[in-house]
Amino acid sequence: MEQSDYLLRQMQLMMQAFAALIRKLTGMKEESSEDELRKQTDIVLMDQMGMPLSELLQIPSEKIAAWLATEKQIHPGSMELLAEVLFIVAEKINDQHEKIKMLEASMALLTYVDSHGNTYSASRQSRIDEIARRLGRSA
């Protein structure tokens, strides 16, 4: 019982951290530098997952969700928030290669959550469709 309470609390803390990061990223001025954007993202990812954004993006998008679920024990709710973080950062950076990697990772996480989560979300499906459109794919 104690262990399940601890895991639930850790999951809640991670979700709160990702939600706070999303609020911070969406509130950043357009002129904010990419370095500042990456720095803020890296701080939260290092704190919550023990890895910076650059390391996360080294994981192939087709394996990222399963890897996060097994290696980092990340819950689908946290994955959905992480996907939103990746989407927001991708929207604000100029490097096309990195933008594509972030969008692919975001889509992979959302697709995983859609198939492994226990709730349907129209906004999640809408985001998957939007990412697919930006990547020039069909969802």
Report pTM.
0.82
Domain limits of the chain? 2-135
Categorize the per-residue pLDDT at 14 as very low, low, confident or very high, splitting at 50, 70 and 90: confident
How is residue 72 written in tokens? 């980092």
| Spatial distance between the Cα atoms of 49 and 44, rounded to a whole number of angstroms | 8
- b/e 72-89 (16+ beta carbons within 10 angstroms → b): bebbbbbbbbbbbbbbbb
Q: Is-contact 75 82, C-beta < 8 A?
A: no
Categorize the per-residue pLDDT at 37 as very low, low, confident or very high, splitting at 50, 70 and 90: confident
User: Does pLDDT of 68 surpass 90?
Assistant: yes
Q: Is-contact 74 18, C-beta < 8 A?
A: no
pLDDT value, residue 82: 94
How is residue 34 written in tokens? 């990419």
Q: Is-contact 108 62, C-beta < 8 A?
A: yes
Give the pLDDT confidence of 108-129 residue by residue, as tens digits. Answer: 999 999 999 888 889 999 999 9
Arithmetic mean of pLDDT, 17-43 = 78
